[in-house]
Homo-oligomer: A and B are copies of this chain.
Amino acid sequence: MCGILSIFDHPDAVALMLRGMSYLQHRGPNGAGISAFYNGVHDCIKGPGLVDEVLPPDVVTKRLKGRKALCHTRYATTTDVNSMQPLFAEIEQAQVALAHNGNIPFAESIREKMKADHHWFLTNLDTELILHLICESKAVSLVGKIKDGLKSLKGAYSLVLLSDQEMIGLRDPKGFRPLIIGVLDGAYLFASETCALDTIGATFVRNVEPGEIVRITSAGIESHHFDSIENCARCIFEPVYFTRPDSIQTDNAERGARSFSTLRFELGKRLADQQRANFKLDIITGIPDSGTPAGEGFAFGMGMPHRNAIIRNHASGRTFLATNKALREEKVRVKFNVVKDLVRGKRWGLVDDSLVRGTTSKTTVAQFWEAKPAEIHLFIPCPRVISTCHHGINLSTMGELLAVGRSIEEMRQFLNVTSLTFLPLADLHEIVGGNGHCDGCFSQHYPEEVPTAA
């Protein structure tokens, strides 16, 4: 997962990008970068860490100038600055900055083949491989090279290329990852989600469609398309977990401008509708912040109050060394605190957005038990994650997935909850709406061939 935001030709380009990026940090908390063109010269600051750490506003706005800027937040554990984004590339046509959200399933084998063919790579990124394919094309224009070079590439790639003359945003033909178009003071933007537009006062224009290549120049906006026509395979895990609740689900026109908060509320409510008869609960809470909308929907569906029983701390999450054993182990919880009097003696429904490895949930549940509830019933408003993702979501290896090799009862025991309940896949599809989603992580049915899971 990654976040992208770019703007073409605005006097506040760099300051706007910095602001907007902070709303895409949930898509990439491990690295951040920003590129800008000023008087035709590209400059870039990037590195591992949170946006605020890597890109202090005073430092960035002092150094980076110009009316065109592109930024990226990165979800990855590597820290080598050589593999941070945006990439810079000097190609035949221009100097460009690139940012990529997605994943190429067979990248490793393509890369090995290219290396055997005496090519080389300066980064670990799929982005560079994509650049390879674009540049090898004999087409003349950048759009032409993209259409030509990527025509047979499988995988997920929402991509933005920025030069001093043009800004190009594109989605792969299956449309795995989102990309939208916005406008502010006449300047166009590309963004991963609408919340990044909101925070800088920009207006949502429309989706970049799967397979579409949108080109922005000083002359305006052009739309091009990959020649291949493919079935949509938008990631169904984005609405369930990754997108911010205040972003709008732009991919499903039939649902209108529905926010993901509303979508998740409906998921929670549907689960309540199915399970109402089966549970006697006293009180319900969503695990903050991502589980709150589904929690509120579940509470509404159960006809019961929702209470924020888990208080999130806004100050430091930094860790430190301690000689105190108890401190190091169970009691070390800086991030959350449980409202004890609310919890004691009650039959609780806890709602989380999803269940992947289960380690965070296990810790939260343990902390919750300390406040001595009578029961803890855990509700997950989506199916079990039974397979890894090959298109851009970091769902760990098969071995780390809690649902792999475990029955629901075994999962319940691992998490130490009174009961554990999921929403069926059909309900998830119905509520997310529209056709053409990839639900490989829930179903193990992928829309295109993927490598054998490790």
Q: Which A residues contact B (CB, under 8 angstroms)? A: 10-12, 15-16, 18-19, 22-23, 25, 42-47, 50-52, 57-58, 61, 63, 78-83, 87-92, 111, 115-116, 118-124, 128, 131, 135-138, 185, 195, 198-201, 244-246, 248, 256-259, 261-262, 265, 289, 292-293, 296, 299-300, 305-309, 311-316, 318-324, 326-327, 330-334, 337-342
Complex Cα gap A426–B158 (Å) = 59
Q: Which residues of the partner chain B approach A22 to less than 8 Å between Cβ atoms?
A: 313, 315-316, 334
Complex Cα gap A45–B19 (Å) = 25
Complex Cα gap A128–B312 (Å) = 35
Q: Which residues of the partner chain B approach A137 to less than 8 Å between Cβ atoms?
A: 118
> Can you list 26 A-B pairs with a CB-CB distance of less than 8 A?
A11-B324, A16-B327, A19-B316, A23-B313, A25-B314, A42-B80, A44-B80, A51-B315, A52-B315, A52-B316, A57-B318, A88-B123, A90-B122, A91-B115, A91-B120, A118-B138, A122-B122, A122-B128, A195-B311, A199-B333, A201-B327, A244-B311, A244-B337, A257-B341, A296-B308, A314-B314
Would you call B265 and A341 a contact (CB within 8 A)? no
Q: Which residues of the partner chain B approach A122 to less than 8 Å between Cβ atoms?
A: 87-90, 122-123, 128, 131
Q: Which residues of the partner chain B approach A136 to less than 8 Å between Cβ atoms?
A: 118
Given A261-B339, A296-B308, are A82 and B87 neighbors across the interface (CB < 8 Å)?
A: yes
Oligomeric state, in number of copies?
Answer: 4
Q: Which of B61, B111, B289, B292 contacts A321 (CB 8 A)?
A: B61
| Chain B CB within 10 A, most for which of A15, A52, A309, A326 | A15
Would you call A12 and B316 a contact (CB within 8 A)? no
Q: Which residues of the partner chain B approach A306 to less than 8 Å between Cβ atoms?
A: 296, 305-306
Would you call B296 and A81 a contact (CB within 8 A)? no
What 8 A-B pairs are tightest by C-beta distance, nearest first? A201-B331, A22-B315, A82-B88, A91-B120, A246-B311, A120-B135, A90-B121, A22-B316
